[in-house]
Structure 1
Amino acid sequence: MTVRVGILGATGAVGQRFIQLLDDHPTFELAAVTASDESAGKSYREAAKWRVDTPIPDDVAEMEVRRTAVDDVPEDLDLVFSSLPSSAAADVEPAFAEAGFVVSSNSSNDRMAPDVPLTIPEVNADHLGLIEVQRDERGWDGALIKNPNCSTITMTPTLAALDAFGLERVHVSTLQAVSGAGYSGVTSMEIIDNAIPHIGGEEEKMESESRKLLGSFDGAELSLHDADVSASCNRIPTLDGHLENVFAELAEDPSVDDVADAMREFPGIDLPSAPDPLIHVFEEPTRPQPRLDRMHGDGMAISAGGIQETSTGIKYNCLAHNTIRGAAGASVLNGELLVEEGWV
């Protein structure tokens, strides 16, 4: 089965990751790329300042960039991936869904909308059932599905594993790579020999999105998980890979080995881009580290380590590649789930 796909916002940092990940994909055939009006009409090679660590695929390099508009993309696209800025996506993505397109989006708008699935396939694939609610409420034939923020997706699979012990309260402090801010998001003078102890909006996203991802769906309505989550988000001078220090309070009192086993044995999913295992657990207290461990599972795995008991529960470190697992790769995996579950 071949699924024809397009990318909205294909020339930016996450859009380029989409291009890289879709090259030679077993199911998806890239049929259209869009960008701003200034880039429309150019070849992709001309429009994109390519910065990914593999060459532009030859067929994509000569592809004509289209306007990001419903009337400028092929009608026969089966699935559309979006890496648009949220300010643009807020209008564009609903327009595509209303026109009948299924949109798998990395953009932050509408993630917490009650009728929009916010999905990590290994954690809450059943939340795709919200698509029926969405279609009924919004009166469209398409669909809008979201993946979470890059920092949220790093932590949440490990919390899903811990929920077997009764997850009650979470405190997390992040050490986030500069690529999460985009090419022009943090200047070299700001970040070299420095750390920035604030990332606008990031803490709120982690605190709310994780509870939605871990929540329960009864077929008509989604209830947020009742754990209390608090976050402190920091930018550090690493290129890729978000490292997070997590402190979890649990109803039960598991041992370090119990926690390690729960993470190590947390089930994955049988999709082309899914890693096996989902969570790679290190015994060494000095791992995971961004430079050494961000590419586990081709950049799609979560790494965890430094697991210790505390007076109130468990603490550990976790890591994921923020532009692969935390962005484009997450949307591609959601697209694969949409195909597998028959929504595309």
Structure 2
Amino acid sequence: MAVRVGVLGATGAVGQRLIQLLEPHPDFDIAALTASDSSAGKTYRQAAKWRVDSPIPGDIGEMTVTATDPDEVPDDVDLLFSSLPSSIGSEVEPAFCEAGYVVSSNSSNSRMAEDVPLVIPEINADHLDLLEVQRDERGWDGALVKNPNCSTITFVPTLAAIAEYGLEKVHVSTLQAVSGAGYDGVSSMEIIDNAIPYIGSEEDKLETESRKLLGEFDGAELSHNEMSVSASCNRIPTIDGHLENVWVETEDELTPADAAEAMRAFPSLDLRSSPEPLIHVFDEPDRPQPRMDRTVGGGMAIAAGGLQETPFGLQYNCLAHNTIRGAAGASVLNGELLLENGYL
């Protein structure tokens, strides 16, 4: 029997992508949609300004949207996917967890909390057991798991693939698509014929989340990876797909050929939404490119290429679809991991 799930913040861009991914999913059955008070009581078709590249599923369009409140969500919903703004998520998500709901969240609040697992399943699935610590410390019957920022998800899998060489210093420069800012995030007059070399708080997310993701969990505490990470973030006029330039210094010698082999061989997981391979490595020096490669692996794989030696260590480029792998798809994948590990 499919697990009954809900979507918090269902009318937003990530909420819409969640619905697109969840509606055909054999393990999940959408049973609740929440949004702002102004949308509550409307059908989803009335409440959502649909912008995803497929029609609203017919049965979803006629579902009634409720307020984002634990009292408004049916008790038999086992899992909630959250795409709430962090300012709202910081207040609402703990309330749902206290009420007994398990929440797989894309929102940025609490990602760095010591007892909240920040998870990319193929990279650090064992960190999910931090939920036992979380429940003990907070007294929750529910639980809260986070997926990282869309730009963090793009480069961390490539680092995990070469971690055996000893990660010491990492610099990443991002070229991020406008969809990462939401539909109203960047005006056309700002971004057309332009690039914006600043995205508020984004650099800190890459620098801190990456070290948590690649840290070690001993069953009681999580220690962060000791590599140093610096980031510079740029918004460019592509619609979807975050392209990143990465420089890595390692303790042991790492050639481009070694790195390519390690990335190609890095294992995926036997979860429905996890792609095979996880990292698609291009031999061509001018790949990956957002328009051509953002949907590799159904939008859930990481694309890499342009591997070369430089005076600053190994340099390469990587790319991920920011609203699929980097947001909604990451939350769905964490939901699958929660299901497989008996948390639902």
TM-score, normalised via structure 2 length: 0.99
Does the Cα contact within 8 Å between 1:264 and 1:280 map onto a contact in 2?
yes
Q: Distance in 2 between matches of 1:13 and 1:263?
A: 31
2 CA distance for matches of 1:147 and 1:184? 23
Q: Secondary structure at the match of 1:252?
A: coil
Aligned partner of 1:275 in structure 2 is 275
Letter in 2 for 1:178: V
Rounded to whole Å, the distance in 2 between the matches of 1:57 and 1:159 is 38
Query: Structure 1, unaligned stretches of length 5 or more?
Result: none
2:209 aligns to what?
A: 209
Give the whole-Å Cα distance in 1 for the aligned partners of 2:182 and 2:291.
18
Secondary structure of the corresponding residue to residue 76 of structure 1: coil
SS in 2 for 1:145: strand
Q: Deviation at 1:57?
A: 0.4
Residue 103 of structure 1 is matched in structure 2 by 103
Contact 1:253 1:313 in 2 (8 A): no
One-letter amino acid matched to 1:313: G
Partner secondary structure for residue 53 of structure 2: coil
Deviations 1:233-268 (A, max 9, x none): 000000000000000000111221110000001010
> How far apart in 1 are the matches of 2:73 and 2:192?
41
Cα distance, 1:311 vs structure 2? 2.3
Partner of 2:84: 84
SS across alignment from 1:50: coil
Q: Deviations over 1:184-228 (max 9, x none)?
A: 000000000000000000000000000000000000000000000
Deviates more, 1:67-76 or 1:248-257: 248-257
Distance 2:312 2:57 in 1: 51
CA drift of 1:169 comes to 0.6
The alignment status of 1:128 with 2:98, answered yes or no, reads no
C-alpha distance in structure 2 between counterparts of 1:337 and 1:156, whole Å? 19
Q: Counterparts of 2:164 and 2:296 in 1: how far apart (Å)?
A: 25
Counterpart in the other structure of 1:313: 313
Rounded Cα–Cα distance in structure 2 between residues aligned with 1:19 and 1:333? 14
Specify the alignment match of 2:139 in structure 1.
Answer: 139
Residues 36-80 of structure 1 show CA distances to partners (whole Å, capped at 9, x for unaligned) of 000000000000000000000001000000100000010111100
Quote the RMSD (CA, aligned, Å): 0.5
Alpha-carbon distance in 2 for matches of 1:139, 1:78:
18
2:174 counterpart SS class: strand
Asked if residue 330 in structure 1 is aligned to residue 301 in structure 2, the reply is no
Question: 1:162 offset after TM fit, Å?
Answer: 1.3
Q: Confirm or deny: 8 A CA contact 1:26 1:272 kept in the other structure.
A: no
Match of 2:224 in 1: 224
Aligned-residue offset at 1:312: 3.6
Mapping for residues 1-344 of structure 1, pairs under 5 Å: 1-344=1-344
Aligned residues: 344
Moved more, 311-320 or 147-156: 311-320
CA–CA separation in structure 2 for the residues paired with 1:227 and 1:255? 19
Q: Give the 4+ runs in structure 1 shifted more than 4 A.
A: none
